[in-house]
Amino acid sequence: MPHRPTRKRKKSEKIHKALGRFSRRPRAAGRSGQWKIQRRHIWSALGVLTVLFVAYVIYLDFVVREQFASKRWAIPAHVYARPLELFVGLPFSPDRFAKELLSLNYRYAYPAKDPASYQREADNFELTTREFRFWDAQEPSRAIRVEFTGGVVTALKDRTSGKDIDLMRLDPAFIGGIYPAHHEDRILLKYADVPLLLPQTLIAIEDRKFLTHHGVDPRGIARAVWQNLKAGATEQGGSTITQQLVKNFYLTNERSLWRKFNEVIMALLLEAHYEKHEIMEAYLNEIYLGQDGQRAIHGFGLASRFYFEKPLNELSTAQIATMVAMIRGPGYYNPEKHTKRLLLRRNLILDTLAEFQIISKAEADRAKREELGVIHERRSGTTDYPAFMDLVQRQLREYYHDEDLSSEGLRIFTTMDPVLQSDLQGIVQKRVELLDKQRRLNGKLQVAAVITSINPSVEVLAMVGDRNPRFAGFNRVIDAARPIGSLMKPAVYLTALSQPTKYNWLSPLDDSTLTLKSPDGQVWSPHNYDNQSHGSVAMISALTHSYNLATVRLGMELGFPAILDTLHRLGVKREIQPYPSTLLGSTEMTPIEVLQMYQNYASGGFQSPLRAIREVLNSQGEPLRRYPIEVQKTFDPEAITVLNTGLVQVVENGTAKSVRAQLPKDLMVAGKTGTTNDTRDSWFAGFSATHVGVVWLGTDDNQPTGLSGSTGALRIWGDIMAKVPTTSLAFESNDKLEMHWVNPTAKQLTQAGCPNAMPLGFLKGSAPAAMVNCEGAPTQGNSHWFGNLFK
């Protein structure tokens, strides 16, 4: 029987139908509209986000391509030493020539038929040179024979034709690479020049899917997260080599999801634009591998030099593994502080290389037995000659246009003599260490030394700015301004000698006790180095023995305006205070400023800027235009010659006479010692006919050293000048200049050959007429001399 609905149920159905008309249908329609509105908003938002994302990716793509291209192709300027010019008559010893060939990496071979090979028989050499493109000509490879006799080139022949050669140049030594526009310090590597073991090791340790992934390795990230969770510490990194490169190239070390997001996107973009070997090359040059004070060590090229003092292609398997080990944390695996930790990781890497059959197990075992081999006395920089290269950098900015220096592939030809530079570095290290030990200065004694040629121009041949010549830190030659002591005195005596009607070398000076009072009531009482006064002395005696009392009296008599004018004419640009103490060298100067002052004396009254750069070529081999260099006449040559004859006597009979034992017997040189209060500074500045040298010794904290100019700086100067192929000073009389033998004690002329006779120059008509014999009695005769003590 069919079920019949009850009255109650019918009523309920009616209510529901009514509610349906008024509520259900309108409610359904409302929900649908709202959902449509929400969907439109969602799609709009997604559209905006997509546009923003695409725009941001396009921006990142621009950043990736722009910066990657500019960084990875930066080519350093190649810097070369001066080329050795060979000609018959060149004063050059055969041993020095052999050193020159070694500095050029010529190899001994018999017969010497290949480029860059040589053989030696006694004092004769046969060699085949390299071809080289100079700034003015192409020098071809040539088979030549060079013969030496008595320290002079006596024959120069072409071995092929048998003809004499008038002049030829050897290829110059490569001394470093610099970035003149960016002031960077980096050794760039080309992938083709990198030993294959290095990228193989990096892939095995840092990113095993490097060759197959597209910049990001999701499985590698997941595996690293799982291993780190199990270990409770960060043992593995999930970043690919590409991601590590992105982080170093473009991003900061901030740890955030936003940085990680950028890293992933940029890694994908980098992989989309560049080949794997290009990415690996950039990684090799950019990865951070340590810290040297304020300088970050980036790239395996610089790191191999920094840690092992070797180019990358000379590293052993163990040394390559050591550097790869430091990638995870150069501080955590610091070889100085955490040697055992680094050793364990290196050995783990070697085992991994053997496991992947990159090396054999036997090779891994041998490598694990090696010590780390990290050097402790490291140089700081990419060159063995940081002081000289610093000067090159400064002169590039001073003499060349910035826009020219921004181009890449420059070739910079400098004035550096590689053999002399090597000699100077060795002498400095040996002498400073010895003097430091003798004076118990506990490693604090510092040094600055610079040698220049003055024929025909003033060219810097060698420089050392630190007791460790390879340290690329504070360059004391250029930046250490110290009181110069008695190096100031020649300027005082030049001022007097330029007034021949009033002064000459035999003019009497008062060297008695002196006390001066300043306007504010301060009292100054100078004293001589020997704490004695010497009464009336000849001007030449005051100079040769460096008498302070006589010099101050002479300076006060001449007047400060005249002396300041002399100093300015000599090229001193510092502000000089008109104080009596200035006459004794209280003025501070750097060694290179002292050298610029003394080059006026050495060059006969002419001044030109010190030059460390001969020529700069662009990548097309064209010379860059430089600012002009002017040579200025500063003093009459005759007045300078008169002064120089007195400075010769400082070496022959005065405060610098101890250097004679270090120099060749027939070499006549001139110079002046300098010592400051409490022996805080030791100076010597001196010159031959063709070279000038300045040496300073002291401590950076200005403590007494116990070294005078003659017991400290003079010894280094003598050591190096004994090795320089130089020319003796010689003086000639002319219609403005006379040369006479004098007796400084009697303050009169005398005869040649007397025990106390001294040869000196006088401006015409300024020499005294009176003459004494060897016993000091009045006489008549010839007092003239002819300019060279050794002829």
- Closest Cα to residue 241, out of 285, 181, 196? 285
Residue identified by tokens 């090159």 is 392
Cβ distance 107 to 117 under 8 Å? yes
Helix axes 257-273, 25-72, angle to 10 degrees: 60
Burial (0-12, 13-18, 19+ Cβ within 10 Å), 751: middle
From 283, 330, 332, 282, select the one nearest 307 (Cα to Cα): 330
What is the secondary structure of 623-680 as a DSSP string? Answer: BPPB-----EE-S-HHHHHHHHHHHHHHHHHSTTGGGGGTS-TT---EEEEEE-GGG-
Environment class of residue 481 by beta-carbon count within 10 Å: exposed (0-12), middle (13-18) or buried (19+)? middle
CA gap 546, 655 in Å, rounded: 7
3-state class (DSSP) for residue 66: helix
Q: How many CB atoms lie within 10 A of CB 473?
A: 17
Residue by residue, DSSP assigns 424-484 as HHHHHHHHHHHHHHHTT-TT-EEEEEEEEE-SSS-EEEEEE-SSSTTB-S--HHHH--EE-
DSSP labels, 9-56: HHHHHHHHHHHIIIIIHHHHHHHHHHHHHHHHHHHHHHHHHHHHHHHH
Q: Three-state DSSP class for 696?
A: strand
Longest dimension (CA), the chain: 174
Distance CA(143)–CA(159), nearest Å, equals: 5
Q: At 604, is the secondary structure helix, strand, or coil?
A: coil
Spatial separation of the C-alpha atoms in residues 239 and 259, rounded to whole Å:
13
Residues 6+ apart with CB under 8 A from 315: 195, 304, 308, 323
Q: Phi then psi for 502, rounded to 5 degrees?
A: -115, -30
For residue 412, give the H/E element and its range: strand 411-414
Strands 152-158 and 758-763: unpaired
Active site residues: 206, 486
Q: Map 345-401 to HEC letters.
A: HHHHHHHHHHHCCCCCHHHHHHHHHCCCCCCCCCCECCCCCHHHHHHHHHHHHHHEC
